[in-house]
Amino acid sequence: MTRRALRRPVHVMAKPTGARCNCACDYCFFLKKERLYPGSDFRMSGEVMESYVRQMIEAHRDFPEVEIAWQGGEPTLMGLDFFRRAVEVGKAHSRPGQRVAHSFQTNGLLIDADWCRFLGENGFLVGLSLDGPRELHDVYRRDKAGRPVFDRVVRAARLMKEHGVEFNILCTVHAANSGRPLDVYRFFRDELGARYLQLIPIVERENETGHQEGTVLSARTVEPAAYGRFLIDIFDEWVRRDVGTMFVTFFDSVLAAYVYGESTVCVLRRECGTALALEHNGDLYACDHFVEPRHLLGNIMTAPLADLAGSEKQRAFGRAKAEGLPRVCRECRFLFACHGECPKNRVLMSADGELGLNWLCEGLKAFFSHTERPMRLMADLLGRGLPAAGIRDILAHEEGRRRPGSSPVRKSIPRAGRGRRGGRAR
């Protein structure tokens, strides 16, 4: 097979267990993807795993770092030996000076001390799914037997902290927790001691396929105005006390748009198409949210991953994000920061009759309007070589408050990336 290098890095989320999971979360659209592979055992073979790791390294040979990302379903169901072998393959194929960075998303149910030692020793970045305090987390997230999972997830978080495993909290925002933004945020910050937070809005289409089709949304879907208030309330606390010590991916990604003119995450960029999904059998899809037959690019066991990721079909998928925007979005003053957000959430008709308006638009516009001035102030600080955390002193002075302590040592927002380790306001 042809082995060409990519001109820009891509993020490929490998699903070694496909849609197989030991949780049965009510809002999980991916569980229905089992229907794409009837009769499958949903276990990635050693051959597919080695091909994925090797091809990712070869495709990124001109870059100093390549990310090997594992998701699901639930990847821990593969067992530790699978990932030990993946690390070995990465070391065997990386070029001198190139870093192979593994990331890993999990529900935490199987995380124990052995897992933590392995993850810590091998520098894995872990995304842990947790939706807030017990009474909010357990509303929609339960195991296959219908039992609540909160205690097991919190235990996993504490074990990872004990073993020095770097982890982010992946918190979905939905109908059950969107009305309690500060309870959610303070739980992560104060009770769990987490410092990295991704907020993921639930916009769930009601259909039998799990595909992004139809415009009827579930009752679990976050309301647009509630989503805006959720972001605003957390931002107002974060910007006054936590910039530089608590890292919220969405806030940092919006700030990057003010600093560099474009965000660091695909959902807020003009075009997408650089965040793909790899199924357990080697099938490569355009996006994790579009694992559907019409968006199947091919199989990495029969065609090079780099060729599939750089194909005209994939480039067209990426361009469609901008080409499908209704006029009201194209004329919006916050287009530079939003670009219509994720296409999977575009289910509304605009006032002038164009389909393609994002369900979250009302809330996003409220957030962008509310945060415009502090975002511009932080962008100005970074542009002058100062830490973004200086915003806390500016606001404290304007509001007649006294803030104890001083700003942390300056670090800046990286120019590239999907928000994995970078894109953070320091």
Q: Is 233 a catalytic residue?
A: no
Q: Find the catalytic residue in 138, 242, 288, 307.
A: 288
CB 174 within 8 A of CB 202: yes
Q: SS3 helix, strand, coil % of the chain, rounded to 5?
A: 40, 15, 40
The residue ranges of DSSP E strands in 314-401, in sequence order, are 346-349, 355-358
How many beta carbons lie within 10 A of that of residue 124, not counting itself?
22
HSE on the CB side for 230, CA within 13 Å?
A: 31
User: d(Cα 7, Cα 32) in Å, to the nearest integer?
Assistant: 34
How many beta carbons lie within 10 A of that of residue 415, not counting itself?
12
Ranges of H-type helices in 9-167: 46-59, 80-93, 113-121, 134-140, 150-162
User: d(Cα 312, Cα 318) in Å, to the nearest integer?
Assistant: 10
Place of tokens 């849609």: 19
Place of tokens 């010590």: 245
Single-letter code of the amino acid located at 92: A
Q: Which of 15, 38, 34 is nearest to 24 (CA)?
A: 34
**Which residues are tagged catalytic?**
288
